[in-house]
Amino acid sequence: MEEIATTMGGARLPEEFHRGAAEIYERLAGFKHDSPTVIDVLERLLAENPSRADEKPSKPPG
């Protein structure tokens, strides 16, 4: 996707779509050999820090 985006940019065409697709594929790469639930996928896609998305959130006290 990055190569396509670079090519599009070099041709003075919009490249944002392909850069966005590359980001999505990168965020989902950890599921390559898994069968995640829809919730798992959505949480990974929406994570503010996708590189730490595999970490379980700590439970609030109480």
Q: Is the pLDDT of residue 61 over 60?
A: no
Average of pLDDT values for 22-36? Answer: 92
> 54 falls in which pLDDT band (50, 70, 90)?
low
With cut-offs at 50, 70 and 90, classify the pLDDT of residue 1: confident
pLDDT reported for residue 35: 94
What is the model's pTM? 0.60
Q: How far apart are alpha carbons 15 and 20 in whole angstroms? A: 9
Distance CA 1, CA 35 (A): 23
